[in-house]
Amino acid sequence: MLDPSVFQSAFQSVYQSIFAGSPICACIFSPSDDPVILDVNDAFLRNIARTRAQLVGQRLFAALPEDPDDPDNTGVAALGRSLARAIETGQAQTMPTQRYPIRTVGEDGADVFVERFWNVVNTPVFDAQGELLCIYFVTIEVTGQKRAEDAAHLSRREALDAAQQAEAGRARLKGVLEAAPVGITMVASNGDVLESNAAHAALWCRSSLPKDVPIDFSEWRGWWADGSERHGQPVAPGEWPLAQALRGTTQAHQLIEIETFDEPCQRRVVVCSAAPIRDRDGEVLAAVVVLLDMSERLKAEDALREADRRKDEFLATLAHELRNPLAPIMVAAELLGHASVDVERVKRTGAVILRQVKHLTSLVDDLLDVSRVTRGLVVIDQQRIDLREILAQAVEQVTPLLQARRHQLEVPPQAQPLAVRGDAKRLIQVLANLLNNAVKYTPPGGRIDVETGIEGSCALVSVSDNGIGMSEELITRAFELFAQAERGSDRTQGGLGIGLAVVKRLVELHGGSIRVHSDGPGQGSRFTVSLPLADSSEAMQQTPTRSVLAVADAPLKVMVVDDKVDAARMLSMTIEACGYRVRTEHGPQAALIVSATDPADVYLLEIGLPGIDGLALAQCLRANPATRDAVLIAVTGYGSPEDRAAATQACFDFHFVKPIDSEDLAGLLRDIATRGRRPSPERRHGVSRAWPSNVAP
C-alpha cells in the first residue's frame, strides 16, 4: 500500500491544477488485479451521486459492482481487462463506449441499477525511477449521446426496413398485376396513371398506359351493354366507372362494350368495376378499376342457347320424320287385318310397309352413325379402291330419288383411275349423302353435276346443284349437327340435318377434307371432297355390291330363338319364304333341350334373352358336340364395335343389327347352304365385302 504522506507530497500540485477541480470525471486506482480507489474528483462524485467517504479506500468492484440480475452486464469484466492491460503494457488503454450501470437508491429505499454508458481511458502513472505508482482513470459519461445514436440508428434501420418493405410490396403488387387474368389500372386523384397491367393493355389493344400522365376519358369508346334502357348508348367520359371512382363513387359490375384502339378496331364486352382509395380522413387518394373480358363467355352462352334451340328443332324434326313412315305402316297393318283384302292389295300394302320400314331404319342408322362418329368409335377399314366405282354405287343408290324428282344428273366419265385408300362402305355413304342433299334441296326438274379429277396429290369429287343455295351464315355451320332446318322449306324428302356432320368426320378420318361454296340463296351449292391418292404399288380392291334376293337351292335346318313372339314369327316367316325348314323357340332352355335331340344347321339368336342371354347360349351350343359346328348368327338392336366384339368372343359367326334386311339374310343362308353347312373362312372372318352394313362376319 502506498504511503499517503508520500502520495500527498508527490501529487499535491496535480490535485490542485488538474485532478480535483477538473470538470471531467476522474479516479485514481491502485495498480493491482483488484484495485483500490485511492481518490476521486468532485465531478465523478457528482456524476454517480456518491460521497468521497463511500468510495476512497474501497475495492473498486465492491464499491461499483455489476447488476447480478442483468445477464448483459459486461462493464466490470471489460474494465478489469483494460486495467490489466495498462499494468502489463505500461501504456494508456482507451476503452470503447461501455455500458456500466451504476447502483443507486430508489425512491422506495431499495438498491436499483441505472443504465449508464461511459468512454474511459486508463493511464498508468510512474515515478522518477520508473516504478508504477497508480492508474489514472478518466471517464466521460455518454449515456445521452449513446441513446441518441441508438435512436438514430434504429430510425435509420426502421426507415430502411420500411423502404425494403415498400419495395417488396411494389414487387408483389407488380407480380399480382401481371399475373392477374383481368385488366387492372390504378390512378391518382388527379388522373395520373400509377399502375397498369398488361391484361388491361391487351383488352384495349394498345401499349400500356403511360405513367404520370392523366387519363383522357374522351379517348375511350364504349357502349352500355347491361340490357337496361341505356343499352347500346355511348358511355360519356364522366360515366366511365373509373372516372366516377375518382369522384368517390364505387361502381360494381358495369357491363360495357368497348372498342379497342389499334386498327382494325375490335369490340369486346367487359365487366367493369371501380372503387376509390381513401386516406384516413376519407379523402380520395386514388382509384382502381378492374376489367374482365366477357366476350368469349357471352359467345359460348349464345352458342349454348343456339345449340339448345337447334336441339329442340331437331327433336321436333325427328318426331315429324318418325311419324311420316309410322302413319302409312299403321294404316297398312290395319288394312291387312281385313278379310276382304285381295292378294294384289296385300302385295302393295307389304311394299308400302317395306319402304317405310327401310326409311325408319335409315333414320335410326343416321342417329347411330352420328353417335359413333362424334364419340370417335368409327373404325375405318382402309383398302386401295377406285373412287370411280365408289361414285358409281353412290349414284345407283340415289337414282330412284333422282327419277322421282325428275332431276338431270351429269357425271362426265373419268378415264384415269382415282385410287385412294379408304373404307368403301363409308365413302359410298359420304358421296350418297352429298348426292341426296343435292336432290332434296333442288326443286323438281333441276340439274346436278358431278365432277372428278386430280389436284396435286389428292383425288377430288365435286357435287353441284342449281337448287336453293346457302347463305353465308349457313355455310359457316353447314357441317354442324342439326344445321339443316334453316336451309330451306323444301322438306318433302325428310332428313334430320345430321348427314353433313357425319360426312365431314368420315372424310377427315380418311385424311381428307370437304368444303362448300354457294353464291347465295337461290344460286345452288357445290360440295367438294378431297382425298389423298393411294400408293400406286398397292393392289386395287373390289368395292362392295348389293346381294340379290336368294332362295334355297340346298336343304338347311334353321332355328330362331327370340323371346319377342312377333319378331320371332316374322323372322321365321322370312326364312320359310326362302325355302328353308325353320323352328322357333322363345326361351334359351327350350332351345337347348330341342337342340340336344334335333340340332339345327343355323341358329339365329336374340342377344337379350331372359335367364341365359344370347352370348351365353351361343357358348352352350358350341360346347355341345351336336351343335358345335352349327352357324351361329347374333340378332340384336345393338351394333357398336363393342357389341360386335362381344358376339365374336362368344363364338358367333355373324352379327345382324335389327331390323334384318330380308335380302341380306336370304343371301347369307344360301351361301351357307351351298358351301356345305358352315360358311367359308372368308365369309366368317370378314374378308368378303359383299355384305351390307347391318350384317358383319
Residue 582's CATH number: 3.40.50.2300
Phi then psi dihedrals of residue 180, to 5 deg: -65, 135
Q: CA 182, CA 536: separation in Å to the nearest integer?
A: 57
Q: CA 155, CA 3: separation in Å to the nearest integer?
A: 54
Domain final residue pick, 315, 337, 364:
364
Domain final residue pick, 93, 114, 141:
141
Q: Are residues 239 and 210 in the same domain?
A: yes
372 contacts 693 by C-beta, under 8 angstroms: no
Q: Are residues 10 and 88 in the same domain?
A: yes
Phi then psi dihedrals of residue 526, to 5 deg: -140, 120
* Domain-located, residue 117: yes
State the CATH number of the domain containing residue 186.
Answer: 3.30.450.20
Question: How high is the pLDDT of residue 199?
Answer: 82
Q: What would you report as the CA-atom Rg of the chain, rounded to the nearest whole angstrom?
A: 53
State the CATH number of the domain containing residue 446.
Answer: 3.30.565.10
State the CATH number of the domain containing residue 316.
Answer: 1.10.287.130
Question: How high is the pLDDT of residue 525?
Answer: 94
* Domain-located, residue 374: no
* Domain-located, residue 58: yes
Contact partners, residue 630, CB within 8 Å, separation at least 6 = 599, 600, 601, 602, 603, 621, 677
Q: Are residues 523 and 574 in the same domain?
A: no
Read out DSSP for 216-283?
Answer: -GGG-EEEE-SSSTTTTPBPPGGGSHHHHHHTT--EEEEEEEEE-SSSSP-EEEEEEEEEEEE-TTS-
Q: Are residues 392 and 513 in the same domain?
A: yes
Q: Are residues 429 and 527 in the same domain?
A: yes
Domain region containing 327: 301-364
Number of structural domains in the chain: 5
* Domain-located, residue 159: no
Q: Are residues 571 and 589 in the same domain?
A: yes
* 10-residue averages of pLDDT along the chain (697 residues): 56 65 89 92 89 92 89 89 93 91 81 89 91 92 87 86 79 73 86 84 74 82 89 91 91 88 83 91 91 86 80 68 71 71 76 76 71 70 89 87 89 85 88 90 92 91 93 84 50 58 88 93 93 75 49 77 86 87 92 93 92 92 92 85 85 86 84 66 34 43
69 — alpha (psi -120 to 50), left (phi > 0) or beta? alpha
Q: Are residues 641 and 674 in the same domain?
A: yes
Q: Are residues 360 and 493 in the same domain?
A: no
Question: How high is the pLDDT of residue 680?
Answer: 42
Q: CA 114, CA 75: separation in Å to the nearest integer?
A: 13
Q: How many CA atoms lie within 13 A of 530 on its CB side?
A: 10
Q: Are residues 667 and 602 in the same domain?
A: yes
Q: Give whole-number Cα distances, 323 to 121, 219, 319, 332, 428, in Å.
A: 118, 61, 6, 14, 28
Q: Are residues 187 and 250 in the same domain?
A: yes
Question: How high is the pLDDT of residue 542?
Answer: 54
